[in-house]
Structure 1
Amino acid sequence: MDITIESIDTSAMKPLGLTQLPSYPVRFSSATVSGAARFVPFGDDASEYLGRTLCVELATERVTGFERIAPRNGAGFIVALDEQFAFKVVGQVGSVRFVTEPRGNVVIAVAAGAATFLLSSEDFPDTSLQEGDNVTFLVHELSLWDEEI
């Protein structure tokens, strides 16, 4: 997803992910949504990203309230919530993939406007999904990963 970094707090670095890369709180805007998230840059100087537009991958720490919903028209949407780095997502399942590890895990891609979220079956327990299903869920601790990483 293409985003523009509107503000970045370089004094609030927090290691993120398996490799513990530096991340920073940002305010961002895109064609799909505006809000706050943690940003993981490719470069060493995070302040260089202020005002830049770049392509990022989306990641989440936690997903709650996952539900299959009735079919709807449109490409889905994302809305920023009052909770910091939290968003409501309404989208459509674009792919369903069964993975071997951990055994029985399923990964889905959910498209909501220009954004795509990859979720594992831990995020939607006891829900059998197929391509084309419409879903909604809450994202907590959204992070934006510079695609150059």
Structure 2
Amino acid sequence: MRPFPLIAAALIGVPLLEIYLFIKVGGVIGAFPTVVLTVLTAVIGAMLVRAQGTAALRRAQASLRRDEMPARELLEAAALLVGGVLLVIPGFFSDAIGFLILWPTSRAFLLSRLLPRMRIVAVHNVNRPASRVSGPAERAGRVIEGEYERKPDD
């Protein structure tokens, strides 16, 4: 299936669904509580992303210290970012999807479905000059301090 019709349908359908849900929820609980609920989900989402994102980055750093590729941890951090963005976007449908992504159980299920489909490639090349450390550490050795003066060519 071609992705363009699916993307076009999502770009039109999701905002329409969000507007519909705003009208329905606003009709049931009122306009002010609807606005408060929308702001509250954004604040809760930001707090959840901060807490869980920090933990995911710590796990990625631990994997790197063990010389392992932190593919799952990086994918989890990306999922947290997407979930957080969905919670900040005003709307109840995007909030529901965002909370599902931030909920550890559903995120683990989602990642278990995505990871086998992904191809993880790690490239490590220490022979390229650009990948070497440059600076004072590279030029370790004897340092001779002095002054010089340029003289014009005669």
TM-score by length of 1: 0.19
Higher strand share: 1
Higher helix share: 2
TM-score by length of 2: 0.19
